[in-house]
Every structure is written in structure tokens, then in C-alpha cells.
Structure 1
């Protein structure tokens, strides 16, 4: 009940802010953007590597509430800006967007929304609901094509597995936008394309032996055995003082946090997890 009220409160708080990109943003989120970019610029050092910058930005979101389905707003697909509540994917997207801004010495809101659109949508262009990169395996592949990240899983000894991805089309009632037949057919076409390529992942029992090759700031995607689904969760690798890789992520247990357990131990508690995909920010 508390979570439902929190979601309702955040959704009600949204007011439309529209330009050529069809953006939905509240006055509060615009204010939070300005505060965050100013604070980041104040402490940012240009000598930081991409991975170090990812962690620097990622930690600035610590304790931000976890909120589901913040992008499912309105009657049509819009570029939703929500810095008050994040799920695992919107957290990764926002951290990457702010990282690009710091890297390129940019601070304006329009540039931020351009980066977010580029990251969130297929080939960087918002063109309806089906242009959003809903399946995270496609998110990885498409953002690699944009040269924003590099999937290094194969270099870590990853294995390829063929799996039919169709979770959205076979769970149509869970996605309000799929009530529209055009969106439903569009998602089916997306799934057909995804299914032309195997998923390369590092099996759970091999992560420990390859952990020394994972760097802080790498994007970690949790691969699942759930029928029709590719990835259930994502976040960033962060090497803690114990020498182990942990997960910096928007946790469904409540907020953005660093996992108390090392990644290998954390994954043992994730039902259906079979391994990870690792991508490095360029």
C-alpha cells in the first residue's frame, strides 16, 4: 500500500513539459536536474576514467527511492524525466547521461534530454512505444552500436545460449501500452529481431574466477532462466574495500544502494539467475 501511494504521488506530481522531443517532466525534476549537475560539476575531476566517473555519478543517487513503471505515463510514449524515483534501468540510463555530460563539459537541460533519448531508444530516436529498448539485451546491443558501451562478456569467457525472447507479447496484460494492436505487433517484430541472436553471458559459477577482470563502473546485467525473458535486473560493478565486486544499483528493496554482499554471494539469492552480461562504458 505504501509503495502504491508513493507511485501515485510521483505520477500525480508530473506536469507536461513539451518540446520537439515530447518530454514529460515535473518542475521538481527540473529543479533536481539543476541541483545535481551543479553539485557534480563542483566536485568532478576531468582526470577520472569513464569507470571512475560512472561510480562518482552513481553514488550521487544513493538513497534515491526505487519506483517501478515511471515511464508508463500518459496515452503515448514520451521522454519521461524522473529523478525522484528510479528503477534499475532508469538508474543506469540517468547515470550514463550525467556521465556523458561531465565528460563533454555540458550542463544544460536540453543536452541532458538529448543524451537520455539517445540512450533509451533504438538508434537514439523516440518514435513511439516500440522504439524504447524494453529488453535489456537489446539495450546493450544498441548502445554498443552507438559506441557508448562495449559488451565484454565474451572476453571474460562468456558462453552463448539460444533462448526465445517473448515475455512482453506473452504477458500482454502487464503492459498497458500493448492494449493497442499496433504496439503489440511492433513488440512482436522487435522480439523476432532479438531472437535472431544468441545471448552471451558469463555463467554464475564462473564469475568468481573472472571477477578480477571486472572493473568498477562496468554495467552488470543479470541473466535469467525465466521463460521468455532475457534480463531481470541491472546495475554497476563497484569494487569495495573487501576487494570484491559489489553491485551499485536501484534495488527493489527500497532505494539506490550498494549491495552488502559481494556480487557472487548476492547472485546466489536471486531466484532464476544463471549469470551476468558485463558491459564497459567507453
Structure 2
């Protein structure tokens, strides 16, 4: 009897421990969000782009973790404890936009994050997420969260066939054996391939860097077949030099780059330049 009671008590304690851990995890995202919003709200007279930089600095040293959004069924994932390069940029923009509202709240932040992350702001399965960052820029330009400025700065067309996801469905668990999702992604890829995309080539960046502003969100274009962009960052000048804040897989956390953006691109052969979105 004593053994049974001990086992039951142990099971109950284990269950309570798991429940507490889950609640703590969920609560920590809300607490991080509220802390950052409180900091940003003190300076919410700043332009949104400047608040994006402030939010990014408050998230520095947050661990880099990939694939945090890959859950089924598709749903809004809030994770301010672990970031990859895209979720870092999305969260910073959502935090900045929320801080500019009259009554910033965690609920408002989640609404902003969904609006930014999904096509038209609506969640309707895996293909509704903006998987390609050039598509993210186009869709968020339409939603007036950012303005695509690559054409106005560089005016050089990014002419490339984009089809990486539909050509490599086994690399994405949601696409494996799912012909409906593959077809939907393939249609989006064709539209993106036919869209007018522009970028700023690496060789022109040093000359034109002063047309970029703190808080501009950029994607690094690539020579990899079928892909548009391989990394995302937030522009941050150090004196006269253009650096950037990003969730770095190499550093394993959110950092301010030691290299200038030009140096970073020149040191990575697949990189060809950047596409730029300015927060509104």
C-alpha cells in the first residue's frame, strides 16, 4: 500500500512539474513581451524603424534555434526565448508596431505577429505562412507594415526562378506526401518568379549604403538554385559603417555583427546582395 501511495504521489508530482514548466514557458513569452513593450513605450514617439532597432537590442543574446514554427496543424507560434533570423525580424517589427499603439498589450502583439507572418494576415494551413522572404516583403508591402525600397535604391531586377520548396518537398515535414500543399506552394512560387523583384547587389552596397536607414529589414539574396534569400537581418549603423543585428546560427544567438554588411556579403560566396524593406 505504501508503495502504491508513493507511486501515485510521484506521478502526481511529475504531472504538476510538467504543468508548471508548460505554464512557465508560456508565461515567459508574455513576460518578455511585456518587458520589451514597457521599454519601447517610453520612446514610442520614435519612428517605427528606430523602435525595431531598440527591440532588436533588447533581444540580444537570445539563443538561435531553427524550426520553432514547425508545428501541425499550422498555428501562431509565439517564442521570444528562441529565435531564427526570420522570426527575430518578425518579432522586432511586431513589437515596434505594438509599442506605437495607444494601449500596447500581449494580445495586440500576437495579432501584429500573425498579421506580419501570414499572407494577408490570415492563417489557413501551412501554405498561408510567408515562407520565402521576398514574398514576405511583397505581402507586407501590400499590408503597409513595410515599404519595399530595393527598386528606389538600386533599381536592379532580381530575375530568378524560385521553386526550392516544391522541388525539395522531403526537406519539409509538412510537404512530405502532401500533394495539396506542394501544389499550393508551387503556385505561389510561380507567382513569385513572375513578380517584379529588385535587389541591391553587393558591389553597389558600399556606394549606396547611406540610403539605407537604421531599422531597415533586409534579406540576403543567393545563387542557390530555386532560393531567393538565405538570411535576414536588421540594419544598424556604427558610426559611418553599416552593420546589422541578426540571429546568427554561427554565434548561436542574437548579435550585432562585427563585420560590416559589405564584409559579411563578400565573405560568403553564395550571397549576391540584399532586398530591403523599410518599416512604416
TM-score range, shorter chain: 0.7 to 0.9
| 1:186 shift after superposition | 1.2
Whether 2:32 is the aligned partner of 1:35: answer no
Whether 2:86 is the aligned partner of 1:84: answer no
Give aligned pairs, total.
Answer: 259
Paired residues of 1:158 and 1:203 also in contact (CA < 8 A):
no
In 2, Cα distance between equivalents of 1:214 and 1:38 = 28
Where 1:177 maps in the other structure, the secondary structure is coil
Matches within 5 A, 1:98-247: 98-179=95-176, 180-241=178-239, 243-247=240-244
Where 2:215 maps in the other structure, the secondary structure is coil
In 2, Cα distance between equivalents of 1:211 and 1:26 = 40
- Relative distance call for 1:36 and 1:157 in structure 2 (3 A) is closer
Which residue pairs with 1:26 in the alignment? 26
Q: Give the structure-2-normalised TM-score.
A: 0.88
Q: Which among 245, 250, 261 is matched to residue 247 of structure 2?
A: 250
| 1:277 shift after superposition | 1.0
- Relative distance call for 1:269 and 1:163 in structure 2 (3 A) is same
Q: Which among 48, 51, 55 is matched to residue 50 of structure 1?
A: 48
Instruction: Show structure 1 runs of 5+ residues with no match.
Output: 1-12, 17-24
In 1, Cα distance between equivalents of 2:230 and 2:44 = 34
Whether 2:275 is the aligned partner of 1:280: answer no
Which residue pairs with 1:94 in the alignment? 91
In 2, Cα distance between equivalents of 1:161 and 1:46 = 35
In 2, Cα distance between equivalents of 1:15 and 1:183 = 31
| 1:189 shift after superposition | 1.4
Q: Give the structure-1-normalised TM-score.
A: 0.87
Paired residues of 1:68 and 1:86 also in contact (CA < 8 A):
yes
Paired residues of 1:29 and 1:82 also in contact (CA < 8 A):
yes
Q: Deviations over 1:171-208 (max 9, x none)?
A: 11110000222211111111121111143111110000
In 2, Cα distance between equivalents of 1:51 and 1:32 = 20
In 1, Cα distance between equivalents of 2:21 and 2:84 = 17
In 2, Cα distance between equivalents of 1:35 and 1:47 = 18
Which residue pairs with 1:72 in the alignment? 70
| 1:67 shift after superposition | 0.5
Paired residues of 1:163 and 1:199 also in contact (CA < 8 A):
no
In 2, Cα distance between equivalents of 1:252 and 1:187 = 26
Where 1:178 maps in the other structure, the secondary structure is coil
Q: Which has the larger radius of gyration?
A: 2
Q: Which runs of 4+ in 1 moved over 4 A?
A: 13-16
Where 2:102 maps in the other structure, the secondary structure is coil
